[in-house]
Structure 1
């Protein structure tokens, strides 16, 4: 599979690009996931997030997208943002398409979980009280 959509960018993500990378005439279901920066975590008010990526993070993302597509036989795509994000900004778009919705939902959820565990991107949360911390290190 050479035409894989797996993007790491410090610019706002293009949902249309990710959505266009999946789906075909045989697909009756397209599932997209939009990970958005929220205003709280663990009972604390969050002001913003700071995502930093390993220089080869896009390669890791491409490998995950390619593997999930190969193992499921479905169209899969993803894009992850880096840099400083504010409340409401999109950090992740993931998409999967299939003949039926259950397959597409399962593949999209699997894709998101594998991205979170396998792509070297680190998140630093900045709280309203001025404290910041790296999450999940």
Structure 2
């Protein structure tokens, strides 16, 4: 299991390749990988968004994500998981989150990946402040339900 909070931009597919090469248990055992890459949109709640700042509580955030992965492991037989989440100043199109799950079977990988992502959105301590097109700012009060 790897969890990383990144204040710098990251390239999800390079991170994924590096993670996979560092997990020898995957070779021959992982028949499936489920990967989610989330990027910042340039709109939210019917407004144009030009930037966003993500804040977190260092230490607490990583522990909460590790707990989410541990809970996922109790529900599904996954081999390993990776979560990288961006913080700091972000622009539309920038990668915000990478969730990867490896398992023997695709249904497990898909279900576990979705579970981790939904738990991140609902319980990980991140706070988002958007900069709108008119240069006003607002805190994001809720995640999109989709």
TM-score, length-normalised on structure 2? Answer: 0.82
Matched, 1:108 2:113: yes
Q: Secondary structure at the match of 1:102?
A: helix
State the partner residue of 1:17: 15
Residues 4-33 of structure 1, C-alpha deviations (whole Å, 9 max, x = no match): 201112112353334525771222211111
Q: Are residue 83 (structure 1) and residue 91 (structure 2) matched?
A: no
Match of 2:135, SS state, is: coil
Structure 2 vs 1, CA of residues 105 and 82 (structure 1 numbering), >3 Å: closer, same or farther? same
Deviation at 1:115, TM superposition (A): 0.9
Unaligned runs of 5+ in 2: none
Of the structure 1 ranges 62-71 and 37-46, higher mean CA displacement relative to structure 2 is found in: 62-71
The alignment covers a number of residue pairs equal to 134
Deviation of 1:136 (Å): 2.5
* Greater than 3 Å deviation, 4+ residue runs: 16-19
Alignment of 1:1-137 (within 5 A): 4-15=1-12, 16-18=14-16, 20-21=19-20, 24=26, 25-55=28-58, 56-74=60-78, 75-136=80-141
Could you tell me how far apart the structure 2 residues matched to 1:102 and 1:70 are?
16
| TM-score, structure 1 as length reference | 0.87
**1-structure distance, mates of 2:92, 2:15:** 22
Shift of 1:59: 1.5
For the 8 Å contact 1:39–1:87, the answer to whether it is kept is yes
Compute the displacement of 1:38 (Å).
0.8
Gaps of 5+ in 1: none
